Amino acid sequence: MIVLSLSGIVFIREVLPKNQSARVEVDGKLVYILPLDKNRIISVDGPIGKTYIEIHDHRVRITGSPCQNKLCIKQGWMASGAIVCLPNRVIVTIGNSGETKPIDAST
């Protein structure tokens, strides 16, 4: 059982993404691919104004947006998934920057 557990840990480390990044798209076009290992604040121009994106400690959040309801800001910090500012057409997707390894059905 111990050997099986340890081999599971090694397998999970191999399958889980190592190079996390944030993909920033505006109006369906890729604008940035930013690694999450460097803290920074960037701004992107959307159709209704600037959206400000902060990366800190391998997490991402939107800190400012010209939209009315500010749902993208209220989402807070994200370590995986996506943050969407629909009125300004900005999408931030957090995931693996390298090639993904396929997981077959037997896994």
Give residue-wise pLDDT tens across range 19-67: 689 999 999 999 999 999 899 999 999 999 999 999 998 899 999 999 9
What does pTM read for this prediction?
Answer: 0.72
What are 60-103's pLDDT values in tens digits?
Answer: 999 999 999 999 999 999 988 999 999 999 999 998 755 444 44
Domain residue ranges of the chain, discontinuous segments joined by +: 18-96
Q: Where are the beta strands (DSSP E) in 1-107?
A: 20-26, 29-35, 40-46, 49-56, 59-64, 81-85, 90-96
Report pLDDT for 97: 57
Q: Which residues of 55-82 are buried (b: 16+ CB within 10 A; e: fewer)?
A: beebbbbbeebebeeeebbebeebeeee
**Predicted pLDDT of residue 25:** 95
Q: Which CATH class is domain 18-96?
A: mainly beta
